[in-house]
Amino acid sequence: VDKDNRAMTRRKFLKTAAAGMALGLAGSPSFSFAKEEYDLAVISGEPAAATRKAIEALGGISQFVKKGQRVVLKPNMSFARTPDFSATTHPLVVATVAQACMEAGAQQVLVLDHTLQRAELCLERTGIREACKNIPGVHVLALQERKFFGETKIPQGKVLERVEVVKDILDGHVLINIPVAKSHSATGVSLGMKGLMGLIWDRESFHSQYNINQAIADLGTVIRPQLTILDATRALVSGGPGGPGEVKKPNLIIAGMDPVAVDSYGVSIVPWYGQNFKGRQVEHLLVAHQKGLGKIDIDQLKIFKEKV
């Protein structure tokens, strides 16, 4: 566990956020990667800079967000924990993506999650609200009321026929998933696919009623983020999903349009619970792959790697 990082305060975050943002804005001229299309961008570096680079490597945010569109960002801010616990997405990653979306001309950006713990505290402790506070057009919301969820059918569902999801993603919003890399005591890991459970109302039934791994894959057929940006700047490799647990620092941002591929790569970067795994060994990823939601073998992926 990184001792220094534990002492990270919100104020520090803000400062770093500002610095990171400035770097991102001033830095690297926009290379066009459009000619060569990558499945994944894996960028090593500080949260804000690496996030910018990763988006750029996939062809820039304008590939995903068009002028006037409304965007939903789904970070993990489910727990009232500070970022050093690695149970929630790094606020700088969220702020950087939100900023990029607004720069691309988005009408508005909603940063939202159905938090597990009290909404107010989650927004406060994770630092995400603070980090996005000064970006005009960006709204950070934690939804804990059923009235903000609407039912949708799952035609391809095997165990799940219908599900109540956050209304805002039902009406043509662009969805960008920004999970954090962490272990999970029921599903092994909780990355992008598992993180989508933060957009539904009734999560309990996934644990009590259905096979959770199948249910996650079913959910993946109706909630399809255009882009997944996995925050692996830190990884909670045990004690997940809520922590506390062992936090490693892979310093990576992994981005891609294929949600299974991003997760599968994410599985491979660190040992989980002290043991190395492949994406194929994570049941919910395997089921999702078999359902045709994405590629699971990372040696078949075209990956752009860089250090910033």
Partner 1 sequence: MRTLIQALSLLLFSTFFIFATYKLPNWLPADIYLRLDPLLGINAVFAAREIIGRALWGIVTIGATLFFGRFFCAYVCPMGASIDFLDLLFFRKKKRQNLKTDSSFRKAKYFLLVLFITAALTGLSLAFLMDPMSLLTRFYTFFIYPLAITLINLILDLLRPLFQALGWVTLSHLYYFQSVYYMTAITLLIFGGIVALNRLVPRFWCRYLCPLGAFLSLISPLGLFKRQVNNDCNECLKCQKACPMGAIAEDPRGTRLPECIQCRTCAKVCPQHAITFPASLSIGGEYSKVDFSRRGFLYSLAGGLGVGFLAMQTPFALKQSKHPLIRPPGAIPETEFLRTCIRCGECMKSCLTNTLQPCLWESGFSGLWTPKMDPRLAPCDQNCNVCGKVCPTQAIRSLPMEEKTHAKVGTAVLRKEMCLVWAENKLCLICDEICPYNAIVFRPVEGYRRPVVIPSKCNGCGFCEQRCPVKGDSAIVVVPNGEIRLKEGSYIKEAKKLQLEFKPDAGDDKFILEESGFKIEEKKKRGKNIPPEEITQPKKPKGFL
Token look-up 């662009």 returns 174
Question: Which residues in this chain contact partner 1 in the complex, by CB under 8 A?
Answer: 1, 80, 107-108, 110, 116-118, 121, 125, 139, 141, 143-145, 147-148, 183-189, 204-205, 207-208, 211-213, 238-239, 241-246, 272-275, 277-278, 280-284, 286
Which residue, among 212, 164, 217, 170, has the nearest Cα to 192 in the 3D structure?
A: 217
Closest distance to partner 1 from the beta carbon of 229 (Å): 22
Residue by residue, what is the 3-state secondary structure of 187-220? Answer: CEEECHHHHHHHHECCCHHHHHCCCHHHHHHHHH
SS3 34: coil
Residue 295 structure tokens = 């590629």
Q: Which is nearer to partner 1, 103 or 283 (CB)?
A: 283
Which residue, among 273, 96, 267, has the nearest Cα to 176 in the 3D structure?
A: 96
Residue 273 structure tokens = 């619970």
Closest distance to partner 1 from the beta carbon of 69 (Å): 13
Q: Which is nearer to partner 1, 58 or 199 (CB)?
A: 199
State phi, psi for 28 to the nearest 5 degrees: -15, 120
Residue 152 structure tokens = 């949708």
Closest distance to partner 1 from the beta carbon of 221 (Å): 19
Q: Which is nearer to partner 1, 28 or 290 (CB)?
A: 290
Q: Which is nearer to partner 1, 51 or 86 (CB)?
A: 86
Q: Which is nearer to partner 1, 236 or 262 (CB)?
A: 236
